[in-house]
Structure 1
């Protein structure tokens, strides 16, 4: 047998499924990622074994997918982590699957799938429940949703090691932000653990997770999405506490994003573990002598929008010009390359040379809306972009009372709608901000309906999606809104941004849109009532009085 035999990977697309149909073979779908050490290990240990490669080539149509570039494929076929090896019918239905497979495990699975295929063929395929087209579990949005998820914080919190859960520990930045207003000690202790165990204290940036309950056995991948979300979470912790121990990790991570992952225009997607000896145990000088970790500098829309929002959040609380400058550069890059490329308001997932990613993904739209809403509040511009992107998402992805994750079209099971709760929460949160910035209740109505789409099963939602309770709470009570009739960057505007409530909305240059606002004054809006303050001190006193009522 030829020792040079290798797996002949096809790209994801209808062509591969047509080949499977014509040859009467199942599809072997490999979900991999640039940053995934186990994925590369499986390539060298399993797929590089000549007999396995020959078996795969002869009996299957092998398809390799980068999960960062194809998130809709990832969400439909992920078996719980990466690498995922999924076996599909030529119609794209799922036969079976597993995560990491060594050579012996792969041989057994290949034989078992061939037996299944020979016995039943495509009839053995199934459609996961989330893709079956069933209605979402709709219900009423009530304060009980927030109460349930606040209770989940206590039930799942680890009092010995912090964080939530009793197995692998992930940083869970959105859960931290939900806890900051409800169980602040839990939130801060969890951030302490994230800082102490997951922060690279040489180059900055947070690792993805720790495999053990005590935050040991750290997996050394650094993902843009995780790092951007943690910058925001640490910045918000600093907002509430004023403690440098929460500001400094955010600052170090901003430096990492704008240095190690900076492309010249925006932020790259990830950095994987280093090969060879343990790179992350070395000091800065020793690292210079080693090969740098594998880095993917693809500019993804959602991750960069999240980064821009995080940098602007940090700037709002600190006046840090470095964070503001890079946030503006990211926003410019988004507008130039990824927003409106297809048509006005449509977000493209990524562009890498001639390789153009899918467009109109819910997560990308949600994060772009959030970023430009934040830009409006902090920089005084951005709401027009946010509105255009939100309008497209509502027109194209919102139906039957909830959001789909993207267009219902494509090979495999991409034509089956998936209605994800996590991206829905991000979009609903952004739409609530947009409603207040534009005084357009339509956005609030869509947010409410999309949150209500899952309210019938709210008692089954866990701490991993605690932010669902946060957005439900925002729908159940009057929001904290401050209209500032003063210049962007004025003392009054900066004071409004630093009110200790990370869910507040600040409307800058309010006198430009409403003549009733007197220049040089900030107004705390409470229904139809406006409480005026002319100095930062008066504003803080007014907010404190409002909180007591």
Structure 2
């Protein structure tokens, strides 16, 4: 593909082979369709005649979309987008930066090309050896002799909560200063931590050094500040990706399906926990944005909407006279799973069945459109029908979304799909001890992709999927594997700081207890449906809802259990609220 005169190659072995044959370094540009400075880079830098000439003559230019290839981005990102990286033909990093103005880019292109011509042979040998050494230690972690102890889980999860407390902005909410990101999973962790102290929860060892009330206060102040400030589109609904200022007032104007889906789920939990109509109103408004602006005619959700500062500063009437910012019409399987989860939470927070159904339609479409021959889900599907790589995180997120779908509908088909998907993920992404790799073995893997990684976030999410499946089906094997997976990352998780929130949430579930609610009755019956709704919507740190068939003539009933103890049967749905 040629853009502004630069002959960009697709990421792939062919480009690396070309670099080897021509003895040229690779110019790797990692960008995104929603990224403002990526557009500026195209308009100001990659349109410069000298830059074009040098890039085409002295380099093999390769362009990667970060949304479509998160596996490449995780190995080569230089601190943001656009990423401008210079690689050897073997894929080792020579140097790199983010945005470079034209004059700096011209200088860097000349210097890297000259340096590489003089040192190509020695560089290739030295950097390849160093790269092998680094990759060999990247996945190092203590190999546990058994599973995860409850005390270990509580201590590690509590340490993450303490990190959130340390990073918390007392004046404006959120974590850190500027730029300030929403950190949806961190907020969810604070709400879960608070719920562990709620009436009815089993008393347990202190969850770190942060009081439960403090956790709720931090979450609520942040949630309200984000919704009331410039981070939120007060006209069309939906959150922008982040705030450039500490007070949430000046956003970076792109809108992401991923962010809005995860925030929808957090506001839904806050609505169910507090009963505050502010949160329920936010849930409805974020859902309005997703359904009006990012939903396709087929029912799946598009990936993002471009940043357009001038447009978003307009009021509703003025916007109506302009074309809205462009949407990336790519289907991302994992982000659609997050959207389905967020909409399931929205249904539980509002009782609006249409929100649940919108999520289920998206799940069904993605399940059919993105499944590969091996039964796993491809990362993306574009308008031309091209499918992206198969990655652990998408399949982990999709498995959890299927379990959510089972709990809010009672349809066994969702549970069956989740069980089969989890089994296939275990088979295809596992190997070499506890934990799971981010990519599949085999296939074309140029550059650093040849070194598969066991990442914290995707392993935490898959561990959560396995534990939830185990708690629903009462099969202990998935939980055993999940706990071994989580134990593998004890210690190394510390370097992630507040970004280990996903891991802490999985540890919390592992430590338990998990409320088990069994609903028995005619699946089509009104009382059964109301019992199941109340069971799923009641605020709880960790709970599963399981359906059981009723005997002929038996009235609908629900049982609440924890461990080996169950309460008296419940027949009135309002008693579960």
- State how far apart, in whole Å, the 2-side matches of 1:407 and 1:7 are: 32
Displacement of 1:228 in angstroms is: 0.5
Q: For residues 5 and 357 of structure 1, do their structure 2 counterparts lie closer, same or farther at Cα, with a shift above 3 Å needed?
A: closer
Aligned twin of 1:270 = 304
Aligned twin of 2:334 = 302
Aligned twin of 2:562 = 526
Aligned twin of 1:160 = 171
Q: Deviation string for 1:478-504 (max 9, x for gaps)?
A: 211111113456222122112211531
Contact 1:486 1:493 in 2 (8 A): no
Contact 2:330 2:383 in 1 (8 A): no
Greater displacement, 82-91 / 399-408: 399-408
Aligned twin of 2:100 = 101
Q: For residues 502 and 486 of structure 1, do their structure 2 counterparts lie closer, same or farther at Cα, with a shift above 3 Å needed?
A: farther
State the SS of the aligned residue for 2:302: coil
Please say if 1:172 is aligned against 2:183. Answer: yes
**What are the residue-to-residue correspondences of 1:168-317 with 2, within 5 Å?**
168-182=179-193, 183-197=215-229, 198-265=231-298, 266-274=300-308, 278-317=310-349
Q: For residues 321 and 491 of structure 1, do their structure 2 counterparts lie closer, same or farther at Cα, with a shift above 3 Å needed?
A: closer
**Residue of 356, 368, 375 corresponding to 2:386:** 356
Count of residue pairs the alignment pairs up = 531
- State how far apart, in whole Å, the 1-side matches of 2:173 and 2:348 are: 28
State the SS of the aligned residue for 2:330: coil
**What are the residue-to-residue correspondences of 1:344-383 with 2, within 5 Å?**
344=375, 346-381=376-411, 382-383=414-415
Displacement of 1:427 in angstroms is: 1.2
Q: Deviation string for 1:469-525 (max 9, x for gaps)?
A: 221122123211111113456222122112211531111x3236xx89975221112
Contact 1:236 1:502 in 2 (8 A): no
Aligned twin of 1:546 = none
**Residue of 132, 135, 138 corresponding to 1:131:** 135
Contact 1:26 1:117 in 2 (8 A): yes
- State how far apart, in whole Å, the 1-side matches of 2:403 and 2:83 are: 36
Contact 2:513 2:542 in 1 (8 A): no
Aligned twin of 1:331 = 363
Contact 2:333 2:378 in 1 (8 A): yes
Displacement of 1:131 in angstroms is: 3.4
Contact 2:254 2:304 in 1 (8 A): yes
State the SS of the aligned residue for 2:6: coil
**What are the residue-to-residue correspondences of 1:3-22 with 2, within 5 Å?**
6-22=5-21
State the SS of the aligned residue for 2:27: strand
Contact 2:379 2:389 in 1 (8 A): yes
- State how far apart, in whole Å, the 2-side matches of 1:181 and 1:5 are: 50
Q: Deviation string for 1:353-406 (max 9, x for gaps)?
A: 444223431111011101100000001121111111111111111222111111
- State how far apart, in whole Å, the 2-side matches of 1:471 and 1:159 are: 27
Please say if 1:437 is aligned against 2:476. Answer: no
- State how far apart, in whole Å, the 1-side matches of 2:77 and 2:494 are: 25
State the SS of the aligned residue for 2:140: coil
State the SS of the aligned residue for 1:259: helix
Alignment TM-score, normalising by the size of structure 1: 0.92
Q: For residues 457 and 412 of structure 1, do their structure 2 counterparts lie closer, same or farther at Cα, with a shift above 3 Å needed?
A: closer
Greater displacement, 220-229 / 458-467: 458-467
Aligned twin of 2:196 = none
Q: For residues 412 and 380 of structure 1, do their structure 2 counterparts lie closer, same or farther at Cα, with a shift above 3 Å needed?
A: same
- State how far apart, in whole Å, the 2-side matches of 1:97 and 1:354 are: 32
Structure 1 unaligned residues grouped into runs of 5+: 542-549
Q: Deviation string for 1:210-231 (max 9, x for gaps)?
A: 1222224310010110010011
Displacement of 1:322 in angstroms is: 2.0
**What are the residue-to-residue correspondences of 1:393-412 with 2, within 5 Å?**
393-399=425-431, 400-409=433-442, 410-412=445-447
Greater displacement, 465-474 / 200-209: 465-474
**Residue of 140, 144, 150 corresponding to 2:155:** 144
Contact 1:485 1:517 in 2 (8 A): no
Greater displacement, 145-154 / 407-416: 407-416
Q: For residues 128 and 270 of structure 1, do their structure 2 counterparts lie closer, same or farther at Cα, with a shift above 3 Å needed?
A: farther
Aligned twin of 1:473 = 508
- State how far apart, in whole Å, the 1-side matches of 2:273 and 2:323 are: 40
Contact 1:497 1:506 in 2 (8 A): yes
Greater displacement, 260-269 / 358-367: 358-367
| RMSD over equivalenced CA pairs, Å | 2.2
Aligned twin of 1:462 = 497
Aligned twin of 1:53 = 52
Alignment TM-score, normalising by the size of structure 2: 0.88
State the SS of the aligned residue for 2:292: coil
- State how far apart, in whole Å, the 1-side matches of 2:139 and 2:336 are: 32
Q: Deviation string for 1:163-205 (max 9, x for gaps)?
A: 0112311111110000013311101111112212211111111
Greater displacement, 205-214 / 494-503: 494-503
Contact 1:67 1:74 in 2 (8 A): yes
State the SS of the aligned residue for 2:448: coil
Please say if 1:390 is aligned against 2:422. Answer: yes
Q: For residues 67 and 10 of structure 1, do their structure 2 counterparts lie closer, same or farther at Cα, with a shift above 3 Å needed?
A: same
Q: For residues 147 and 336 of structure 1, do their structure 2 counterparts lie closer, same or farther at Cα, with a shift above 3 Å needed?
A: same
Contact 1:79 1:97 in 2 (8 A): yes
Contact 1:149 1:461 in 2 (8 A): no
Displacement of 1:458 in angstroms is: 4.0
